[in-house]
Amino acid sequence: MGYQFLGLYLIEPLIARVTSGGLPDVSAFRPLVGNEAQLVFWLAMSWTLAAFMEELVYRGWITNRLAELWRFSTNGWIAGVLASSALFGVVHLYQGPSGMIATGLSGLVFACVYLATDRNLWASILAHGFMDTVGFLMIYFGVYPGL
């Protein structure tokens, strides 16, 4: 949760300034503000499709397959982490350039959590899920930056 607040109030504004763009575009989630049904829907989606499935694909599969190409060497793990994090950012391009970069950095954090916990995928799933939950709660209460 600490990384989320650091990201929202320091990293994302810095990325926006460097890229000459705005904050990540989360306008697609604007109907969630004050809407309990939308909150329940997006929390369910974030825990199943985002936290569980994305971590399974990006950290559990892509990172490991790339590390395997280098026989699970240190360089292989570094390549896997960097490539999966970059790809994770690219698929979030709908948030604009700053959102793509910020999400790629979040992917890097999730990958570090994954490796720091001896490749415990549940650790990165929980980190991802809690980060999304806090974000959706902030949107629900109308306090998410740039909303």
Confidence at residue 1, expressed as pLDDT on a 0 to 100 scale: 65
List Cα–Cα distances, 71 to 35, 60, 76, 114, 130, in angstroms: 49, 16, 7, 18, 32
| Span 84-112, average pLDDT | 96
Confidence at residue 31, expressed as pLDDT on a 0 to 100 scale: 96
Helix, strand, coil share of the chain (percent; to 5): 80, 0, 20
Confidence grade of residue 142 (pLDDT, cut at 50, 70, 90): very high
Q: Is the pTM of this model over 0.95?
A: no
- List pLDDT tens digits, range 113-140: 999 999 999 999 999 999 999 999 999 9
Helix (H) or strand (E) holding 67: helix 64-69
Confidence grade of residue 96 (pLDDT, cut at 50, 70, 90): very high
| Span 31-58, average pLDDT | 98
Helix (H) or strand (E) holding 69: helix 64-69
Question: Are the C-beta atoms of 16 and 113 separated by less than 8 Å?
Answer: no
Query: Is residue 2 predicted with pLDDT exceeding 90?
Result: no
Tell me what the pLDDT averaged over the chain comes to: 95
Q: Which two tokens stand for residue 77?
A: 């793990």
Confidence grade of residue 92 (pLDDT, cut at 50, 70, 90): very high
